[in-house]
Amino acid sequence: MDTEKTIKTPPCRTCKQNFEITDRDIAFYKKIEAPEPKDCYHCRQRRRQSYRNERHLYKDTCDLCKKSIISIYSEDKTFPVYCSDCWFGDGWDRMDYGQDYDPSRSFFDQWNDLWKKVPKLGLLTLGQMENSDYTHDAIRLTNCYLIFDGEQAKDCMYGETFYLTKDCADFLFLMKSELCYECTNCNDCYNLNYSQFCNNCNESAFLQDCTGCQNCLGCVNRHRAKFEIFNKQYSEEEYNEKIKQYGLHDYNNIQKFKQEFKKFVQSQPKKSTRGLQNENITGDNIHNSKDTFYSFDCADLRDCKYMTNCVMKSNDCMDVDIWGGMDRCYNCECVGEGAQNIIACYYVAFNVRDCYHSAFCMKSNHDLLGCVALIHKHHCILNKQYSEEEYTKLFAQIKAQMQKSGEWMEFFPIQTSAFKYNETVAQEYFPITKEQAAKWKIPWQEKDPAKYKPVDFTPPDTIAETDDSILKQILGCETCGKNYRLVSQELDLYRKKNIPVPHQCSDCRHTARMQLRNPRFLYKRKCSKSGEDLETTISPKRPEAILSPEEFVKEFF
C-alpha cells in the first residue's frame, strides 16, 4: 500500500486533541489554495453535520401559498419556509435578498444575515412523489413513510439511505432489496430480516457479513451457504424443524435470539475493512475505489480523503459528506451531480461549479460566493449580481479579508445552523449533552412532554394476536417512553412477514441500527493470522479476532 507520511500533528482548536496532517493533505491544500485546517477531521465533520436535519419532521404552513405542509423546520423558526413547488417556482425572486458586502464586518456574520432572510425549502424531494408526504431528501418514491436520503422506493417505511427498495421497513443503507426488515448495509437481498453487511442473501435472518446465502439463520462470514444455523450445516428437513423450535414469530423469542446471535458474532473473526474492488484505501464500507483514505460508506472514489456517504463517481475531493458525482470539492455537506470546485458549501448540486461558502444553490450556477438558494445564476456575491470583472475584483478582496480573519474555506459556524444540534445528524455521530450544548452556546431542542404520556397498553407478542384495533392505539416506546402509533401499511407488512409489531418508537429503532455499525474511527491493530499492521474501525477493546482482507479470503472463501 502507498502510505501517507505524517508531516504535522497540531492540536485541534475545538477538542484539543492532536491530529495528523500528511503529505497528501498538504499537496491537496496547495492545489486548491486552502489553509491547513485548525480542527481535526471529526470536529470538521461535526460542524458540517450540524446543518443537516435528516429525520425530524414537523407540521407547517408554506409561507408563500399558505397550504399545509410537512417541513424539517420546527414551529419556532423565524425565517420563511416554502413548499417544494413554491421554492422551485417563479413566484419569488431570490435576488431580492441581495446585500452589499461590508468589509468592516465578519463575512460569516453577513452571510448569516442573508441565511436568516432567504426562504428555506421545507422538504427536499425530487421527481415524481406519490403518497409519500412524510419523507425528506428523496427522489421518486411511491407509498413511502418516514424514509430519508435515498432514491426510488415503493411501499417502504422507517429507513435511511436507500436505492431501489420495495416492501422494506426499518433499514439503514439498503440497496436493490425487497421484503427486508431490520437490515443494515445490505444489497440485492430478498426476504432478509435482522441482518447486517450482507449481499445477495434471501429467505434468511440474523446474518452478518454473508454473501449469496439462502435459508440460513444466525450465520456469520458465510458464502453461498444453504440451510445453516450458526454456521452449522443441516438438511432441509432438519433446518425447517429447528426454525420452528426457535419461534421467531414471537417478540420475546426474537429478543432472546438477538442476544444469542450477538455472542456468536463476537466469537467469529472479522475482516479488518469491509469493501470490494479497492486499491490503496483505508476506512470501511468502501467499494470500487482507489487511493482513498479515512473514508466510510462510499463507492467509486479516486484520490479522495475524509469522505462519507459519497456513492457516485468522484475525484480529487476531501472532507465531503453525502452524495457524489463531483470533482475537486472540499469541506462540504450534501454536494454532487456534476459539482466542480465546490468549497465549504451546503446542498450545492446539479452542474454547479466554482462555488464558495454558499447554501442551496442548484442547477447550473457558477462563480458564486456567500449565496443562498440561487438557481441558474453566475457571478453573484451575497445574492447580489455583478459583472464578471466586478465579481473577480470583489472576490479577491473578500478572499484576502477572510484569509486574514481565518474564515476562508471553513464551513459555516454551528451556531448559525437552522436546526437545534440534537435535531441533526451530528448528534448521531458526535452526541453531546444538553449541558455541553449550553456551555458551547449551541442551540438545543427540549423534548415535548406531550409526546411522553405513559400508556398501559403493551403490543401483543405475535402478529397473529394483533388485530386492526391497534391502529387506533397510542403506544409507548419501551426504551425512551415516547408515544408512537402504527400505520396500516406497516401492519400489512408485519402480517406478510409474520413478525411482531415493534415495541420501540422509530427513533429508538434507528438508534439501535446505528449502534450495530462500527464508529467512523480507525484503530491500529494487527492481523490475528499474519501479524500485518492494519487500520480498522474495530476497537482493540472488542473481543473479535481481526483478519486482513487477504487472510479473510483464505479463511472463508
Angle at 357 between CA 353 and CA 359, to 5 degrees: 80
Q: What is the pLDDT of residue 209?
A: 96
What pTM does this model have? 0.92
Q: CB of 145 within 8 A of CB of 160?
A: no
Band of the pLDDT at 537, cuts 50, 70, 90?
very high
Structure confidence by residue, pLDDT tens digits, 189-224: 999 999 999 999 999 999 999 999 999 999 999 999
Q: What is the 3-state secondary structure (H, E, C) of 11-59?
A: ECCCCCCECCEEHHHHHHHHHCCCCCCCCCHHHHHHHHHCCCCCCCCEE
Mean pLDDT of 509-531: 93
How far CA 221 is from CA of 200, 212, 524, in Å, comes to 13, 11, 23
Mean pLDDT of 519-524: 93
Q: What is the pLDDT of residue 455?
A: 87
Q: What is the pLDDT of residue 73?
A: 95
Structure confidence by residue, pLDDT tens digits, 219-278: 999 999 999 999 999 999 999 999 999 999 999 999 999 999 999 999 999 999 999 899
Q: What is the pLDDT of residue 510?
A: 95
Residue 450 pLDDT > 80: no
- CB burial readout 269-299, b (16+ within 10 A) else e: bbbbbbbeebeebbbbbbbbbebbbbbbbbb
Q: What percent of the chain has pLDDT over 70?
A: 100
Structure confidence by residue, pLDDT tens digits, 340-351: 999 999 999 999
Name which of 518, 97, 39, 73 is nearest 308 in CA terms.
518
Residue 449 pLDDT > 80: no
Mean pLDDT of 108-121: 97
Q: CA gyration radius for the chain? A: 25
Mean pLDDT of 471-481: 93
Residue 309 pLDDT > 80: yes
The ranges assigned to domains in the chain are 6-45, 142-271
Band of the pLDDT at 76, cuts 50, 70, 90?
confident
Mean pLDDT of 30-34: 95
Band of the pLDDT at 187, cuts 50, 70, 90?
very high
Which cell is 263 given?
A: 455472542
What gap in Å lies between CA 24 and CA 330, rounded to an integer?
14
Q: What is the pLDDT of residue 452?
A: 82
Mean pLDDT of 325-352: 96
Band of the pLDDT at 2, cuts 50, 70, 90?
low
Which cell is 410 given?
A: 471553513
Residue 1 pLDDT > 60: no
How far CA 363 is from CA of 177, 386, 403, in Å, comes to 31, 19, 29
Residue 180 pLDDT > 60: yes
How far CA 78 is from CA of 49, 115, 121, 465, in Å, comes to 21, 11, 14, 47
Element (H, E) at 324: strand 318-327
